[in-house]
Structure 1
Amino acid sequence: MKATIERATLLKSLGHVQSVVERRNTIPILSNVLIEAADDGTIKLMATDLDLQVLETIEAQVDQAGATTISAHTLFDIARKLPEGSQVSLTAAEGKMQVVAGRARFNLQTLPRDDFPVIAEGELPTKFVLPAATLRQIIDKTRFAISTEETRYYLNGIFFHVADDVLKAAATDGHRLARVTVARPDGAEGMPDVIVPRKCVAELRKLLDEIDGTVEVSLSNTKIRFDLGSAVLTSKLIDGTFPDYSRVIPTGNDKLLKIDPKSFAQGVDRVATIASEKTRAVKMALDRDRITLSVTSPENGTAAEEVPGDYSASGFEIGFNARYLMDILAQIEGDSVEVHLADAAAPTLIRENDKAAALYVLMPMRV
């Protein structure tokens, strides 16, 4: 194999594929990126961790078609340190690859292409197209609520399902829930309920930053593929049952508080400065049009701040995890947010308004 690629093109593509590769691998080939040069002037770069696979196609000058695999992180680090604007020549033969750019030359070990594992997709019967902007919005407004508890593996991703003729995406860690609703795309009717793993969500979000058009989504009960043009991301799905989250979305919360999310979040952040790392609890005392945020910390002392808000129901006190509250408020784009409360022990509903695509549920804390 012999090919020449511009450094910037190579670096960008390696940036996409090498982030899938785990730093520590017991199987040596999984540390490698598959490089496949074709006679039509394209090079395919592929990396996998056996659960997630990314394939990127780039244009190059191919003098001799062929394929090999080479350490993904090593090649990425080399490309990063090469001079800007340089042309990178890759020549592979007899278990070695020579990388030449300007006066720099590297001889690297390779592993055979035939040993490289590829995720078998099988049939992907459900196919639909989503605008990249919609997919970005879905991920940004839900992924902060994905659980990181490995024991509850079925919560380690975003749950996609079609219900009431709309596509819904939800994530929860048991303390908070985020749900986004978008119009059901053509082709999504009858799709299976799927849980897309956290790592796949993170890699997809990185790739979405670079495209403005649409993304073709194909899926089955066990796999999902996102086709973003030059990049294709394929992932296994989480084999588990997502809980019926609709049961925790409160419908009868009759106390309505309206606040400016940014100034409210800043107030929470200020008083939470002295909160202990373990609890991060902030107390919210509600009175007519007056909300007092306070924190009491045995080690540090107390803090309190009055923040403006529109509230006319009966007064009471409720506690929240400051970090969780700020995470939710950070997702609100408008300058007003509705907080629907019931009592100090019941789940609280937070949304921009009743027309908003996203809604959030936050469990209170004892304070």
Structure 2
Amino acid sequence: MEPLLIDIRKDSLINVLQLVLKAVSHNNLIPVLAGICIEVHTTEIVFTTSNTSMTIQYRVSQDSDSLIIYRTGGIVVPARYFIEVIRKLNEGLIIFEVNQGLILTIISGSSQIRLQGMDPGEFPSINKDYPMNAKFRINNSLLKSTIRQVAIAASSSEARPVLTGVSFDYNNDYLRLVVTDGIRLASRTIYTENNWNNNTKILIPAQNLYEISKLLKNDDDTTEIVTFANQVRFTTNELKIDSVLIDGVFPSIMNIIPKGYISEVLLESNLLLRAVECVSVLAGESIIKLATTTCALALFSQTADIGEIQNEIPLIEMEGEDFNISLNGKLLVDLLRSIESEKIRIRFTGKVSPIILIPEDIDSSTLFLITPVRTHN
């Protein structure tokens, strides 16, 4: 590439950097991955970052207001210093210029900064052509809410890597996302658009998916998802994100989800969340107890030598017999915070069987499980 020369508005640049910095590698042994790859083409500028697990690319098209391209070229700049310098500059247009060698000159008003760069040819490419396994589109708002609901149930321990991932089970016109950490399980099925190919099953790191959900800004747009043998790609407008896949077999959920239930109650979600948060304050080893009465759900916790908490919330509906069960309050709070529903159904399936949580005003394909804690009473 020829040495680059551009003018770009600071506000536009900051917006891009806030997106791509999510994939900057801080502790990688490959020096180039600590940088931002900037490639200037005839009609656009492309910013790329990668931490080997996830790669983010954002394209900014040339226009008279935010970007003017004079010469094409490319360079990788150290992300840490680059973003700090840009933040300190005045508002308005910033000049980027590379003349000789790998030195980026940044000019803004009376400020002039030179940063030592690296060869963009050493930066991993996101635009390689791989054989596709499947391709489909999903509305951004739906995709974001689904990821945020299920990803919370993923394990943070690397002892079993498959449990740190989200299972994407795609079959023709629907996509089922399933996550479990061995104690909790979250599952939701959503329908897709513009489908290509029949089916595929992949395992995506939950942390990557969560970051992707934060990068999808326009709820009315759609995201194209393409799966390959070893990675998955999310594309929406100017944004493209690649994620590696987790190698391994995700546990079958067919025998985990109870087929029936003994009792079912309907509650207001916000009341239940606040009550669980309250009793969890004095929950020794995070254990809380739930028990139904004639018209209420009672919650209780205690810590020896400290104290105890009791709380009660009204039932909207109840079916079946009274029940009582002990759960991990912290894990239950995490699930309840991810449920985007005004009401929630809780199904009791037995003292040693998982509790089923079903959001009332979301499609019936969404459910959460949490395994009870065995106690002496």
When the two structures are superposed, what TM-score results if normalisation uses the length of structure 1?
0.93
Q: C-alpha displacement at 1:65, in angstroms?
A: 0.7
Aligned to 2:55: 53
Long gaps (5+) in structure 1: none
Quote the Cα distance in structure 2 between the aligned partners of 1:251 and 1:71. Answer: 55
Paired residues of 1:157 and 1:196 also in contact (CA < 8 A):
yes
User: Within 1, Cα distance between the matches of 2:47 and 2:201?
Assistant: 31
Q: Give, in angstroms, the shift of residue 138 of structure 1.
A: 1.4
Equivalent position of 1:232 in the other structure: 240
* Aligned-pair CA distance for 1:329: 2.2
The match for 2:151 among 128, 140, 143 is 143
Q: Is the 1:146–1:157 contact (alpha carbons within 8 Å) kept by the matching residues of 2?
A: yes
Measure, in 1, the Cα distance between the counterparts of 2:180 and 2:11: 39
**1:147, distance to aligned residue in structure 2 (A):** 1.2
1:256/1:14 Cα in 2 relative to 1: closer, same or farther (>3 Å)?
A: same
Q: Which residue of 2 aligns with 1:194?
A: 202
- How far apart are the structure 1 equivalents of 2:262 and 2:196? 35
Q: 1:296 aligns with which of 285, 288, 302?
A: 302
Which of 144, 159, 163 pairs up with 1:155?
163
Match of 1:251 among 259, 262, 267: 259
User: Which of 362, 368, 371 is residue 360 of structure 1 equivalent to?
Assistant: 368
Amino acid of the structure 2 residue aligned with 1:64: R
- Conserved 8 A contact 2:172-2:195: no
Write the distance in 2 (CA, Å) between the matches of 1:252 and 1:200: 34
8 A Cα contact 2:49 2:55, kept in partner: yes
Q: 1:123 to 1:189 in 2, by over 3 A?
A: closer
Matched pairs, number:
363
Q: Is structure 2 residue 114 aligned with structure 1 residue 111?
A: no
Q: How many Å apart are 1:201 and its aligned residue?
A: 0.8
1:175 — aligned with what?
A: 183
Residues 135, 195 of structure 2: 8 Å contact kept:
yes
The alpha carbon displacement at 1:184 in A equals 4.2
C-alpha displacement at 1:352, in angstroms? Answer: 2.4
2 CA distance for matches of 1:100 and 1:212? 37
Q: Is the 8 A contact 1:142 1:179 kept in 2?
A: yes
- Which amino acid is 2:268 matched to? D
**Matched residues in 1 for 2:97 and 2:172: separation?**
55
1:188 offset after TM fit, Å? 5.2
- Give the match for residue 213 of structure 1: 221
Q: CA deviation at 1:163?
A: 5.2
Partner of 1:30: 33
Range 164-173 or range 336-345, more displaced: 164-173
Answer with 189-198 or 234-243: which moved more: 189-198
SS in 2 for 1:155: helix
Would you say the 8 A contact 2:136–2:192 is kept in 1? Answer: no
What amino acid sits opposite 1:233 in the alignment?
I
What does the per-residue CA deviation read over 1:147-198, in whole Å, with 9 as the maximum and x for residues that have no partner?
1111211121211113596321111111111111112434255221011112
Is 1:124–1:223's contact at 8 Å kept on the other side of the alignment? no
8 Å CA contact 2:139–2:219 kept in 1: the answer is no
C-alpha displacement at 1:224, in angstroms? 0.9
Equivalents in 2 of 1:334, 1:198: separation in Å?
22
Q: CA deviation at 1:215?
A: 1.0
1:333-363: CA deviations, max 9, x gaps?
3332111102221111110249434111111
Asked whether the equivalents of residues 341 and 349 of structure 1 are also in contact (C-alpha less than 8 Å), the reply is yes
Q: CA deviation at 1:46?
A: 0.7
Instruction: Confirm or deny that 1:305 pairs with 2:311.
Output: yes
| Counterpart amino acid of residue 294 in structure 1 | F
CA contact (8 A) 1:145 1:172 kept: yes
Tell me the TM-score normalised to structure 2 length. 0.91
CA distance, structure 1, for counterparts of residue 193 and residue 151 of structure 2: 21
Q: Which amino acid aligns with 1:103?
A: S
Aligned counterpart in structure 1 of residue 337 of structure 2, from 319, 330, 334 = 330
Q: Deviation per CA, 1:222-280, whole angstroms, max 9, x where unpaired? A: 2111111111111221111111123211111121111111111111111111124xx21
Q: Distance in 1 between matches of 2:42 and 2:80?
A: 26
- Describe how 1:270-289 pairs up with structure 2 within 5 A: 270-276=278-284, 279-289=285-295
Amino acid at match of 2:27: R
Runs (5+) with no aligned partner, structure 2: 62-66
Determine if contact 2:166/2:179 at 8 Å carries over to the other structure. Answer: yes
Report the AA paired with residue 144 of structure 2. R
Aligned structure 1 segments of 4 or more residues deviating by more than 4 angstroms: none
2:31 partner letter: P
Q: Is the 8 A contact 1:287 1:311 kept in 2?
A: no
